[in-house]
Amino acid sequence: MENTNPFHYEGELSWCPGCGDFQILKSVEKALTSLNKKPSEVVLVSGIGQAAKLPHYMKANGFNGLHGRALPPAFGIKSFNRDLTVLVTTGDGDCYGEGGNHLIHAIRRNIDITVIVHNNQVYGLTKGQASPTSEVGMVTKTQPFGVVSLPFNPIAFAIAMDTPFVARSYSKDIDFTADLIKQGIETKGFALIDILQPCVSFNKINTYQWYSQRAYKLDNNYDPTNRVKAFEKSLEWGDKIPIGVIYRSQRQTYDETLDRLGIKPQVNSQPDLSKVKSLLSEF
């Protein structure tokens, strides 16, 4: 693949050996390559965290912003230049913790971006505190008596928000993940892909083994367009964890609205002076 992968980055990667993030990186590259995207037309947007380092590890444009704040710049980037393919690579803390409010409203806006959440159920970069998806009872230095808050269920949440594309994957299955990312990119509107990603350094509960025993692919009979059924499916988490496209729906995208209004500004362009002058008469 290396030769035909224009997204390959030559520098050093600072993730821990064995980290699921490497697999997600491969999946992203694969998805983009299979769609024949050029690095110069892709923007990877991220916040802060291990997941959020991904834009530095691919040859593509990148906006590596603030912890929890990947979605707002992604909106700004994409709405202004709708020819770009915009992916957000974020963590469970970044996206569901610090950034939760933006997720709610980004889905409502339905701009055409694909959000890839490296869900390792822990804060990796800051060395092992609980994240919004950590299991109840998990002991960490900041939860010495165990996590007490109910884990956030991103799939149920996204279905309640009527997100156009909602999927879950497991990082170890690179091809499967790549295919979901590809579908997410192809979806018009907001796509959320939550990826189970082992953190070998800090999450001693949700390990490769733990996920491998539980993750199963939805079969072909599963209908992701039935919202209530999808919601029911989203509640499945325990001995069995479904992966695949869990929910799909369609509605007008933000991009389409701008197109309809004819709003498409160009870089380095001047405002029309005669129009500007005509404003004077209103005062």
Partner 1 sequence: MSFDISIKIAGQAGQGIQSIAEILLKVLKLNGLHVFAYQDYMSRVRGGHNFMQVRISDSPVYSIKEDCNILVALDTNSVDVHRNEVPKGGAIIYDPHSTMVDSPDNRFIPIPMNNLAKEVGSPILSNTISAGSILALLDINKMDAEEFVKKQFAKKGEEVIEKNLKALERGYLYFLENFRSWKFTDIKAQKNNKLIMINGSEAVGFGAIAGGCQFIAAYPMSPSTGVFTYITGKAKEFNIISEQAEDEIAAINMALGASFSGARAMTTTSGGGLSLMAEGLSLAGVMEAPVVVVNAQRPGPATGLATRTGQEDLEYVLHIGHGEFPRFVFAPGHPEEAFYTTIHAFNLSDKYQVPAFILIDQYFADTYATAKEFDLNKVKAISSQPSAFSNDYKRYQITKSGVSPRAYPMQGDFTFIADSHEHTENGHITEDGEVRNKMVEKRFRKLKGMQKEFGKPTYYYGDKLVPSSFKKGKAKTVFLAWGSNYGVVRETVDYLKKQKRSVAMLHFNRIYPFPRKEAIAFLKGAKEIITVENNYQGQFGNILKAETGIEVDGKILKYDGRPFTVEYILKRI
Ligand X SMILES: Cc1ncc(C[n+]2csc(CCOP(=O)(O)OP(=O)(O)O)c2C)c(N)n1
Residues that bind Mg ion (CB under 5 A): 91-93, 120, 131
* Interface mask toward ligand SF4 for 228-257; x: CB under 6 A: ------------------------------
Task: By CB under 6 A, tell whether 29 contacts ligand SF4.
Answer: no
Task: By CB under 6 A, tell whether 202 contacts ligand SF4.
Answer: yes
| Exposure letters 108-138 (e unless 16+ CB within 10 A, then b) | ebbbbbbbbbbbbbbbbbeebbbbbbbbeeb
Task: By CB under 6 A, tell whether 78 contacts ligand X.
Answer: no
The stretch among 26-34, 42-50, 92-100, 267-275 that binds its own copies (CB under 8 A) is 92-100
Q: How many CA atoms lie within 13 A of 112 on its CB side?
A: 23
Closest CA to 74 of 105, 96, 51, 98: 105
- Out of 27, 32, 68, 194, point to the residue binding partner 1 (CB under 8 A): 68
Task: By CB under 6 A, tell whether 94 contacts ligand SF4.
Answer: no
- Out of 24, 31, 51, 84, point to the residue binding partner 1 (CB under 8 A): 84
Task: By CB under 8 A, tell whether 235 contacts its own copies.
Answer: yes
Shortest Å, Cβ 112 to Mg ion: 26
Q: Which is nearer to its own copies, 59 or 109 (CB)?
A: 109
Binding residues for ligand SF4, rule: CB under 6 A, are: 15-16, 19, 21, 50, 120, 124, 199-202
